[in-house]
Structure 1
Amino acid sequence: MKKILVIEDDLTFVKTLEAYLGKLGYEVYAASRAIEGVAKAKEIKPRLILLDYRLPDATGLEVLVDLKQVESNPQVILMTGFSDIRTAVKAMKLGAFDYITKPVNPDELKLLVEKAMKATSTNDATAKSSDTKSATKKIANLDRDFVRGKSIQSDTLHQHIDLVAPTDMSVLILGESGTGKEYVARRIHSQSKRSKGRFVAVDCGALSEELAISELFGHVKGAFTGAHANKEGQFVAAEGGTLFLDEVGNLSYEVQVKLLRALQERIIQPLGSNTDIPVDVRIVTATNENLLNQVRDGNFREDLYHRINEFKIQVPALIERKDDFWTFTEFFRKHANADLNREVEGFDEDVTAIFNSYTWPGNLRELRNVIRRAILLTHDSTIVSSNSLPPEMKETAGSYTVHGSSPYDLKAQKQNSEREMIIKTLEEARYNKSKAARLLNIDRKTLYLKISKYDIDA
């Protein structure tokens, strides 16, 4: 029987989940605190973990890091309130399989659990070159799984991809979480002279320093506690192909030094070894951080920044792609219909208005998830109504009011959202601007400029 671990401090909710998932044939275990949940996961080795974001002794993001040590490499679904949507998106960058908002809809949960159980982990540290066929198949299906868009922003994005793909230049992809940076990286690979080689993706945001060195460069037996055998790193696994380093700004200084050497000299040295191994890979990196700020703050090497930034591609946020929005929406609707065996034909006027006024912090990923959820909940109609949307989304969309602008002005809506976030962060930091700047991941000068720009009383 497949094991599911629920880490949640609401005992009534836990009992409900145990009963529901038990009826679906799963063996359900529970823990009410983070430390207890991690210990239980190591003990029972579950296939799936349902993790609450707000626990008494830790946040879901902290627990995600600890769960990397679980031998069974379980999928993790984050359970969160809708107000935590940005955190949920960040959790997915740290390795979570997906997220689900509370109150949890049973049909949505069932679909997500089944999907997670079927999924094959793409972060398996022991992946072998036999995965080449699977990786090639994914690249061949890019056109089926994604839609290009028709806006000027989309045209510019794909022009840059077409321009740089045939070269061997290192590419730095910038963009918010959920905008499709990995899709851009895969497109570059599929159009390159290395397309017959492997495309290997590494989520640097989910790796500790020691794990990052081992994951990228490999290790020899006995290099550290638990290193019971030699392991080849992802540089070797991507030989002749493309190595995609997502969230590259999260790498520690020591790993940055080793990465710089690998790029400059085209050789690597496994952890615990004195042997140099020549490598032939193309490097594509991505981040949602401001690397230049990290360079100025001394957290990212300037020489490495220039080495990975031979060509830069900016992936626009969904809110900046007004002319593409309904193209993407229709694309996700058709795919959700096919996946969920539905025949939904469109969206009513209320849903259209909400979609137009909402700021979509999770970008394309959030749009896809919202549409899938809405279509799943549309049982007896061919038109999605606002009743199928999360109630918090309707409240959030209705709360945005940008002075002097149209409710359909996406740029103004984004600015208003940023203003509200800055105000909320200042309040949490008790108007300590240095602390607020750290929480917002910007420098103090930028914060002062935004306070002035948005006429915030601080």
Structure 2
Amino acid sequence: MKSILIIDDEINICTLLSKFLSKHGFKAESTMSGATALKMLKEKPYDLILCDYRLKDTDGAQLLNDIRQIRPRTVVIIITGYTDVRIAVDMVKNGAYDYISKPLYPDEILALVQKALSQEPVPLREPVAATAPVSAGRVVEEEKVVEEEKTPLSLKSSKPNDKYVYGKSHAAKELYRQITLVAPTDYSVIVYGETGTGKESVANLIHQNSQRKNEPFVALDCGSLSKELAASELFGHEKGSFTGAINTKIGAFEQAHGGTLFLDEIANLSYDIQVALLRVIQEKQIRRVGSLKEIAVDVRLVVASNEKLSESVQKGKFREDLFHRFNEFTIYIPPLRERLDDLPQLVDTFMLQVSRELGKQPIPISSDVWDCFRRYDWPGNIRELKNVIRRACLLTPADEEIAVETLPLELKEESTRESFSSSGDGMEEHDMITDANDLKAVALKAEYNKIINVLKAVKYNKTKAAQLLNIDRKTLYNKLRLLNINY
């Protein structure tokens, strides 16, 4: 039975964590004092320590150093408030396994404790320098990052899944529940989600939690593949099989043998390739372009689409038999606008990543920017959020907070939307129409009313408004200025 020591100066947290962990098969003890914790450590070893950063008689940083001196192989997880996240990250760099922020969620604690205790012990080494890279995921696996940096680039077939953010919203928890449910099986999986929601990350998580996790994960974007190129990319080709085939190429199925093959935007494959793909799934054999030799392959398939494949079947764009082959399990990734409770965690994670890229400390975010984030519709989802953070961090000088001025135009519009709504939609009717018989003025008024109605319908999202109006976004902005629509 694994032993856990809980160090927190709040008696309620000590009691609740002790009971919860004991209920799940751990031997849990607790103390409210750092000094007492060190005495307990000298008397006997513990497999893992959950330690609050702020204690009455010491702080987490000092206590971490003392723990490492007494029990260097004990796993330490820091409990921290949101305002202390930067400090907790530094502690991870200096030997803590990970940190978990308040409020505490039982499922999150249990998952992190189990993951930490399942890791193989690692040799002792010196604390990482402050400038060393640190994983930006909620679970920081420093040793794993070090090993990946030693791996030749040609051997890396996927992004490390520790970059995935485990959200706390109901939608995020349900998503992760489905992933953990289907991952250990060998089912084929269809992943639905809008652009930028993280379909490849979900596929990677499925792979990493499966029995194939030690085998390759290969991702292929089918979105822009022609018929000829798709056959080569999927199944490979022999040297000289067509013009430009100067060497033999191994396709994605062979590369993923024993592991997982992720096919993004699967609905865009041509009908002929869908026929060939169905045969490969049925026979578990591929034939390179220009070859008569059959090659056996053992691959788990995860496919993704931003539209329902069942609808593509009804439209005649996708083979029904192939759809049913894939449709052993379906996962829907909710868009960011449906999981805004995860914004703080996502922003925190991306801030750490970007800070590492730019070599600067994480930058605080102004309340006005947070208001923009919460009101914005995020049509580009998580990918758009990350790019916004990257832009804002680059434009914000050191020792300043991120302001609205550093945001892209689409988000800056959100900061003034309320004043736009409260002060009126812009030009008054008497300003617009000077002569009811003036045909040009009548046309302008009609255009003005149409734009206003569409903007209201899409909650002032200019990108969607431009799409509905069948004009590009630049044209829409020009018309807003021309019609004196202030916001």
Normalising by the smaller structure, the TM-score range is 0.5 to 0.7
2:327 corresponds in structure 1 to 309
> How far apart are the structure 1 equivalents of 2:456 and 2:383?
17
Contact 1:348–1:383 at 8 Å: present in 2 too? yes
Change (3 A) 1:181 1:426: closer
2:382 corresponds in structure 1 to 364
2:352 corresponds in structure 1 to 334
- Correspondence for 1:285 among 293, 303, 310: 303
> How far apart are the structure 2 equivalents of 1:416 and 1:401?
17
2:156 corresponds in structure 1 to 134
Q: Which amino acid in structure 2 is aligned with residue 230 of structure 1?
A: T
Tell me the CA shift for residue 235 of structure 1: 0.5
For residues 400-439 of structure 1, what are the structure 2 equivalents within 5 Å? 416=458, 424-425=466-467, 427-428=469-470
Pair 1:264 & 2:264 matched:
no
Contact 2:458–2:465 at 8 Å: present in 1 too? no
Pair 1:386 & 2:404 matched:
yes
Tell me the CA shift for residue 320 of structure 1: 0.5
After superposition, the C-alpha distances for 1:125-161 in whole angstroms (9 at most, x for unaligned) are xxxx98674237x43xx22x22201111111111111
After superposition, the C-alpha distances for 1:316-346 in whole angstroms (9 at most, x for unaligned) are 1011002111211122122222221223442
Deviates more, 1:384-393 or 1:249-258: 384-393
Tell me the CA shift for residue 359 of structure 1: 0.9
Q: Any idea what SS the aligned residue of 1:346 has?
A: coil
Q: Which amino acid in structure 2 is aligned with residue 244 of structure 1?
A: F
Tell me the CA shift for residue 276 of structure 1: 1.6
What 5-or-longer segments of structure 1 have no aligned partner? 1-128, 404-412, 430-458
Contact 2:372–2:414 at 8 Å: present in 1 too? no
> How far apart are the structure 2 equivalents of 1:206 and 1:149?
31
Change (3 A) 1:153 1:402: farther
> How far apart are the structure 1 equivalents of 2:267 and 2:289?
21
Contact 2:212–2:260 at 8 Å: present in 1 too? yes
> How far apart are the structure 1 equivalents of 2:379 and 2:251?
34
After superposition, the C-alpha distances for 1:210-233 in whole angstroms (9 at most, x for unaligned) are 000011011122321111232221
Q: Percent identity?
A: 47
After superposition, the C-alpha distances for 1:334-382 in whole angstroms (9 at most, x for unaligned) are 2222221223442112211111111111111110111111111111433
Q: Any idea what SS the aligned residue of 2:353 has?
A: helix
Q: Which amino acid in structure 2 is aligned with residue 277 of structure 1?
A: I
Contact 1:246–1:286 at 8 Å: present in 2 too? yes
Contact 1:132–1:198 at 8 Å: present in 2 too? no
**Rg larger for:** 2
Greater relative CO (CA pairs within 8 A, separation 6+): 1
What 5-or-longer segments of structure 2 have no aligned partner? 1-150, 422-454, 472-487
Change (3 A) 1:330 1:219: same
Change (3 A) 1:281 1:132: farther
2:237 corresponds in structure 1 to 219
2:170 corresponds in structure 1 to 152
**What's the TM-score once normalised by structure 2's chain length?**
0.55
> How far apart are the structure 1 equivalents of 2:457 and 2:336?
14
Contact 1:203–1:245 at 8 Å: present in 2 too? yes
Contact 1:344–1:382 at 8 Å: present in 2 too? no
Tell me the CA shift for residue 418 of structure 1: 9.9
For residues 32-431 of structure 1, what are the structure 2 equivalents within 5 Å? 133-135=155-157, 138-139=159-160, 142-143=161-162, 145-395=163-413, 398-399=416-417, 416=458, 424-425=466-467, 427-428=469-470
Change (3 A) 1:130 1:258: farther
Equivalent pairs, count: 289
> How far apart are the structure 2 equivalents of 1:398 and 1:285?
40
**What's the TM-score once normalised by structure 1's chain length?**
0.58
Change (3 A) 1:203 1:390: same
Q: Which amino acid in structure 2 is aligned with residue 135 of structure 1?
A: S
> How far apart are the structure 2 equivalents of 1:418 and 1:310?
39
Tell me the CA shift for residue 427 of structure 1: 3.9
Change (3 A) 1:187 1:379: same
Q: What's the RMSD between the two structures over aligned residues? A: 2.8
Q: Any idea what SS the aligned residue of 2:316 has?
A: coil
